[in-house]
Structure 1
């Protein structure tokens, strides 16, 4: 009899769990939207979790299958999202009627220190005030000043490559896995430009700052599991005592920034980095920002830039080795820029004047969007109407919106031969012909990426330095299809970004 009761209890428990886990699976049936049937807990993300594809490929394939619909249902784990495939509707949601969709969705359900104070997770007026506070930090004038700090890191990276070449003892060049190299560069650049630290990750490979960088670029293994649990079952996540980031890491960042601010204020130290700019912004702002709120902006800067900026350089170099004619033309422009400097170090203005460089990196961001999608949350009910006033859809407060950046950028209706790497799409003659709201590498509207200038100048400057010294060629280990070979939430091939560098 006891066994019967136990089995009955377990059966009821499983039934309750199934009903809870599938409670939202009819969301789009009830609202008349097309969708693909979700799986329990994982939604439409199974192939990512099974290690079969990257999030970029999942988003690209889903968009390709559903692009005939302006709106379509997508299940991000157990969360139903309304995917917007139409550029005009994207414009309405992100710009024209922004007040109805002012916030990003909360990817993390946690109260741990720093996370909810990061700009990307702030909401409504608090976000607006912090955005206004930070905007002066990322102006062209501030980037111009900050660029001087970067040159030393670029020089150390090039010295590391030279040492690799010397060790290979081959005049015909050497093989290199780029991601490791450029993650270290990204780490050193963030350390110096944001935190005022001299790290030298090539000379001290196991430095604490680099280890923390690897830990916060977290969509792998146990960290991916914690992220999924936080998104799908926040109560269990909390019950188990999990945290998104190790407490030691956040405490380290907090001490680092707060101590630096205190020391600079006491000793009147001025340095053109992010800590200094935040100190100045705090003084000029009418808001009384806490230390944690300011530290959180440094933290999201690290969190967003460490992996993405390295991947940006890698994907661009990958295309250059695939397209030697484009590489040659870019090298010639870099050489002309070097000659125009007349022995002076590279500077922000010289980088920004390289037109073909801008075309190349723009096409790289088009083909290999580092953020496969962006999102919004509906904050108040919104009626979507077409041009003649006919109701197209009723958005409800709390609806989560998915904007498939990479899907749009691989759509042959907007970018003919989308798998072809063609910088000419972004020439002065052609770029004005792009359909608005189909090219969104840094997001769109008031919620776009505030650090886009930083990412662009870092990638352009490193590619400039690399091409002046080396010709980039295929290695036997270079993947043939980057999209098919990448896995998980990062656009990184399983075997790495292998290249063959030949000294010029």
Structure 2
């Protein structure tokens, strides 16, 4: 009898969990919006949730099946989201009628220290004040000064490669570009955002790198806690769970706060993010807390660490598969070096490499780092088409999805989308781009504030890499990157292996 009762109880609990997992799935049916059938718990995101495919590939396929709808309903786990497939609709919601959709949805738990103080998480007027205050921090003039710090990290990376080249007797040698670029990205963030000098090539177990790895939530235990926070946010908050270890977060708080105090006491100036934030705080009428200052440095781990590393990797991957493009880029790099007349690479020289910009732009299109961006409806809004016909009524609280990767791989906007073609972004052809179909850094007032920072790091690294090495395939180079990538980025499980051949 007891066994039967236990079985019935388990069945009852299982049924309740199932009902909970599907409780939101009638949302779009009730509101007359077309949608794709979701599955319990995972909605339309089974592939990326179970790490069997990349989020980019899954979202692209979802977009392809539904692109004939200007707007369509999708389910991110249990969360209903209204996806915008039409560039004109994207323009309306993200730019023209921005006041109705001014905020991002909150993916991370509000229990996370620093998270609520990050610019991209802030809402409404608080976001607007912080954005206006931080915008001067990312001007070309400020980036120009910061580039000198990046140069030191590039030099250390090259020294590491030269040592590896020497041990290979000057012949080509195999390298996991992802491991290399993660170390570089770590060192660049350490010096430009946290005012800390580390060399992860000489000391790969340094504290900053080890602790920083715990903040990357696109893999490992953080990924599963992140997925749980999306699937069951109320449960996550009820038990006061956090994705990040409090002691790891405290390490970065102390790093920044102590650096500020030391610089103020000793009147030290350094062209990094801490210095720029210190200056912004003095000029701002808002009385920033320590956590608000640290949070802006903290963003670099979420926005820059993985993305900047991946962009170098995917671009290098395309260059080894397209030797003619690599050779043309190498010629531009050589010309730039000659124009510097023995001087170090600088921000202005980087900006004067048009083909480099074309190559990076095409890499950002084909291997979209941010697969999607989002908005949150703050006021009821009626969407109409060009003729004034009603398309849909948005309600307060609706979550909006903009499928960047789907748009980038749509042959209507980018013919032969799987072909790597930098000429799409040439002066002659970039005028043909349909507005609001190319969105590598987001769209509208809430686009990425740090795009200059990201681009100068990636271009600086590729300049140094191509100047010294030819990039070729190695026996372990992934044959099908699109099919092999998993989760939230384009990193193959086997690694980003390629061959570097020293130039004569």
TM-score interval (norm. to shorter): over 0.9
- SS of aligned partner of 1:73: strand
| Further displaced range: 221-230 or 461-470 | 221-230
Superposition pairs of residues 56-455 of structure 1, within 5 angstroms: 56-169=56-169, 171-455=170-454
- SS of aligned partner of 2:52: coil
Distance 1:4 1:328 in 2: 73
Distance 1:93 1:148 in 2: 39
Distance 1:17 1:54 in 2: 27
Check whether the contact 1:337–1:350 (CA below 8 A) recurs between aligned residues: yes
- SS of aligned partner of 1:357: helix
Distance 2:318 2:152 in 1: 26
Distance 2:413 2:491 in 1: 26
- SS of aligned partner of 1:37: coil
Distance 1:112 1:498 in 2: 35
Cα shift readout 1:118-149 (whole Å, capped 9, x = no counterpart): 11111111111111111111000000011111
Cα shift readout 1:380-418 (whole Å, capped 9, x = no counterpart): 110001111111111111010110001000000000000
Cα shift readout 1:356-402 (whole Å, capped 9, x = no counterpart): 10011000101111000000011111000111111111111101011
Distance 2:293 2:335 in 1: 41
TM-score by length of 1: 0.97
Distance 1:410 1:30 in 2: 31
Check whether the contact 1:42–1:77 (CA below 8 A) recurs between aligned residues: yes
Distance 2:189 2:296 in 1: 13
TM-score by length of 2: 0.97
Distance 1:481 1:9 in 2: 47
Distance 1:242 1:454 in 2: 33
- SS of aligned partner of 1:121: coil
Distance 2:471 2:8 in 1: 66
Check whether the contact 2:53–2:483 (CA below 8 A) recurs between aligned residues: yes
| Further displaced range: 236-245 or 61-70 | 236-245
Distance 1:156 1:139 in 2: 26
Give the aligned CA root-mean-square deviation in angstroms: 1.3
Distance 2:162 2:247 in 1: 36
Check whether the contact 1:383–1:394 (CA below 8 A) recurs between aligned residues: yes
- SS of aligned partner of 2:279: helix
| Further displaced range: 427-436 or 5-14 | 5-14
Offset at residue 2 of structure 1 (A): 6.0
Offset at residue 34 of structure 1 (A): 1.8
Q: Determine the structure 1 residue equivalent to 2:17.
A: 17
Offset at residue 4 of structure 1 (A): 6.1
Cα shift readout 1:266-324 (whole Å, capped 9, x = no counterpart): 11111110000000001111111111111111101222211110001111111111100
- SS of aligned partner of 2:375: strand
Offset at residue 3 of structure 1 (A): 6.0
Check whether the contact 1:213–1:303 (CA below 8 A) recurs between aligned residues: no
Check whether the contact 1:110–1:230 (CA below 8 A) recurs between aligned residues: no
Offset at residue 15 of structure 1 (A): 3.4
Equivalent pairs counted in the alignment come to 503
Check whether the contact 2:49–2:227 (CA below 8 A) recurs between aligned residues: no
- SS of aligned partner of 1:126: helix
Check whether the contact 1:188–1:200 (CA below 8 A) recurs between aligned residues: yes
When residues 176 and 8 of structure 1 are mapped into structure 2, their CA distance, relative to the original with a 3 A threshold, is closer
